[in-house]
Structure 1
Amino acid sequence: MENVQEYKIEKGPRETLAMDPKKFILWLFLVSIIMLFASQTSAYLVRRAEGNWLEFEMPKIFWYSTAVLLISSLAMQWAYFSAKKDQFKQLKIAISITFVLGLIFLWMQFEGWKQLVAMNVYFVGNPSGSFFYVFTGLHGFHIISGLIVLLLALASAFRLKVHAKNLRRIQICATYWHFLDILWLYLFVFLLTFN
C-alpha cells in the first residue's frame, strides 16, 4: 500500500478592511453626533406638534454666521490641498484663516443669542426658544472642539508633521470641520423651515 500523505493547503491570511484607527474613531464620533441631533430634531417636531409654540423670526446674524462658516470650509479645503502639495506657508495661513472664521462664527452665534433675548425669546420659557438655544449651543460646543482640532493641526503644520506623505492629521481635521459645516446647514435649514 502506498503511503499517501495528506497535504493541508493553507490559505494566506484573510484580507481585512484596513482603516486607520484614528479615522475610525472620528467616524464613530460623527455618527454619535448625528444620532444626538437626529433625536433632538425629532423631539423638536413632536413638541411643536403639541401646540403652545412661540414663532419668531431668526435674527439675520444667523444668516451671516452661516456664510462665515461656509467660507471657513473653503479655507479648510485650501489647507488640505496645500498640505497635499507641500505648500507649508499656505497650509499655515489656511488653517489660521479657518480658525479665525470659526471664532467669528461663535461670536456671531453669541450675538444672535443676545438678539433673541432682545426679542423676548429666552432659554427658559416657551419650548421653541429652548430648542433654538439647545441646537445652537450644542453646535457651538462642537465648533469649540473643532477649533481645538484646528489648533492641533496648526501646531503639527508648524512642526512640519503635515505634508504630502503624512496627511492623516489634516484629513481628520478637514473631515471634522466640513462635517460641522454640514451639520450647521442642516440645523439652519431645519430651524428656518420648522420655526
Structure 2
Amino acid sequence: MKFIKMITEQTLQEEKIAAKRKSAKPMLWVSMISMVMFFAGLTSAYVVSTKREDWVTFDLPNGFYISTLLIIASSIFLIISQKLLQQDKRQLSLVTVVITLILGIGFIWQQYEGFNQLKSSGLYFTGPESTVSTSFIIGITFLHVLHLLAGLIVLLVVIYNHFKYKYKPNDLLGFELGALFWHFVDILWIYLFFFFYFIR
C-alpha cells in the first residue's frame, strides 16, 4: 500500500508540474513577444530617421562592446548553472547563478560608462547639443537597461529560491522561466548592438 501511495503522490506531483509548465511558459512567451514588437517599432523608427538631413553618425562607445561580452558570458554561466542543477550539484549551480548576477550588474555599469563616453564626445540625449541619432541610440539602450533590471530582479528571486531548496532536478520550472527571460534580454541586446553597429 505504501508503494502504491508513493507512486500516486509522485504521479500527482508530476501532473502538477506539467500543469504549471503549460500555463507559465505561454504567458512568458506572450510578454516576450510584446517586447520584441516594442523594440521592433523603435528600431524601425530609427531606420526611417537615418534618412534625415540632420542625422549624425558616430562610433559606438567602448562600454557597449564590453557590456556585450559581459552579457554573453552571463548567459553562458546561467546555462552551466542549470545543467549543474539538473545533476543535483546545488552548490556549484548556486555559485554560477550568482556569477550571472554579478555579470549582469557589470553589464549595466558598462552601459552607464557608454553613456558617459558618448557625453564626453559631445553627444547628448536631450538639449541643444543633442542629435536625433544620439537620442535614439541612448533612448533605446536605456529602455533595454530597464528590461535588464527586471532580469536582475528575476535572478535575485532564482537565487533566493535556490537557497530555499525549491528547485529539484525533476522540477526546475521557476529556474527555467527565469533563465528563459534572462537569455531573452541577452539576445535582445545582441540584436540591438549589431543593429546600431551596422545601421548608423
Q: TM-score, normalised by structure 1?
A: 0.88
- State the one-letter code of the partner of 2:59: E
Q: Which structure shows the higher helix fraction?
A: 2
Match runs of 1:68-107 below 5 Å: 68-107=70-109
Please give the alpha-carbon distance, in whole angstroms, between the structure 2 residues aligned to 1:42 and 1:57.
20
- State the one-letter code of the partner of 1:137: F
Please give the alpha-carbon distance, in whole angstroms, between the structure 1 residues aligned to 2:61 and 2:44.
23
Match runs of 1:6-155 below 5 Å: 20-124=22-126, 125-155=130-160
Corresponding residue for residue 182 of structure 2: 177
Structure 2 runs not aligned, ≥5 long? 1-18
Which structure has the larger Rg over C-alpha atoms?
Answer: 1
| 1:119-154 deviation per Cα after TM superposition (whole angstroms, max 9, x unaligned) | 111111211001111111011001100000000000
Structure 1 runs not aligned, ≥5 long? 1-16
Q: Does the 8 A contact of 2:21 with 2:173 survive in 1?
A: no
What is the root-mean-square deviation in Å for CA atoms of aligned residues? 1.4
Corresponding residue for residue 161 of structure 2: 156
Please give the alpha-carbon distance, in whole angstroms, between the structure 2 residues aligned to 1:51 and 1:33.
30
1:186 and 2:191 aligned: yes
| 1:136-182 deviation per Cα after TM superposition (whole angstroms, max 9, x unaligned) | 10110011000000000001100110121211011111111111111
- State the one-letter code of the partner of 1:65: S
Deviation, 1:20, is 2.2
Please list every run of at least 4 consecutive aligned residues from structure 1 whose deviation after the TM superposition is greater than 4 angstroms: none
Q: Could you say if the C-alpha distance between residues 39 and 148 of structure 1 is closer, same or farther in structure 2, counting changes exceeding 3 Å?
A: same
- State the one-letter code of the partner of 1:72: S
